[in-house]
Amino acid sequence: MFSFIHERKALESLERVSDGAAESVASNTPVRRAAALAVANATLIVSARKWGGNVTHAPMKLPPEVAAEAVSAFSDRLDRLSLNAESLEGRPSGDPAIDSFRWDLMATEVLVLTLGASLSADAAHEAGKCWMHLWSARRRAEDAAQLMMHFSKAYSTPPIPLSSPGEKVTLKRLVTLASVLPPMYRPKKKNKRPGS
């Protein structure tokens, strides 16, 4: 019974987040979208340790109970981020905390949809559109990485989830994360046959 309730909560979250998510992502600046791409990629890598490799390679194949647990976890994160929005009121527009909030919110919404892909075809479709909007900003990966490092230095906090305690986040790593799609959205390479 608990898994049914968990799945129902996840489906409600997916419906709430799906509504207009791609348009919301597209309306952000390219630098924020590239930063969100870095955060989303790093978070998927860390999440795969908890929920398995299908998180990064085939979220459509996640068992419903695993998808529901992941969606619920990231929905709770969205709720916490929404509560934090009030604390940003009155800050100067150049405060890196504002940019960080926006790219974190965007990445978390995309992750809710991505990890819920096996529960909802609509979420899967919306997730694909969101990832394409994020990836379209990859040419601004270096600018995004520099802004993320500025935030990290200003607030003494890592700009992305860390794979291991003590991990050092470098500009190069951020640029890479801000310029690639996760495996499930990368174009498939055509196999060349020997002799062709």
Q: Domains of the chain: which residue ranges?
A: 2-87+100-184
Whether the CB-CB separation of 63 and 178 falls below 8 Å is answered with no
- Which of 63, 65, 40 minimizes the C-alpha distance to 53? 63
Cα–Cα distance between 165 and 190 in angstroms, integer? 38
Cα–Cα nearest to 40, from 183, 186, 177: 177
Whole-number pLDDT of residue 51: 96
Q: What's the mean pLDDT when you consider all of the chain? A: 91
Q: What is the mean pLDDT of residues 82-111?
A: 90
* Per-residue pLDDT at 180 exceeds 80: yes
Note the pTM of the prediction, 2 decimals: 0.91
Express each pLDDT in 3-26 by its tens digit.
677 788 899 999 999 999 999 999
d(CA 109, CA 71): 10
Q: Mean of the pLDDT values across residues 92-120?
A: 93
Q: What are phi and psi of 58, to 5 degrees?
A: -160, 70
Q: Per residue, what are the HEC states of the chain?
A: CHHHHHHHHHHHHHHHHHCCHHHHHHCCCHHHHHHHHHHHHHHHHHHHHHHCCHHHHCHHHCCHHHHHHHHHHHHHHHHHHHHHHHHHCCCCCCCHHHHHHHHHHHHHHHHHHHHCCCCCHHHHHHHHHHHHHHHCCHHHHHHHHHHHHHHHHHHCCCCCCCCCCCCCCCHHHHHHHCCCCCHHHCCCCCCCCCCC
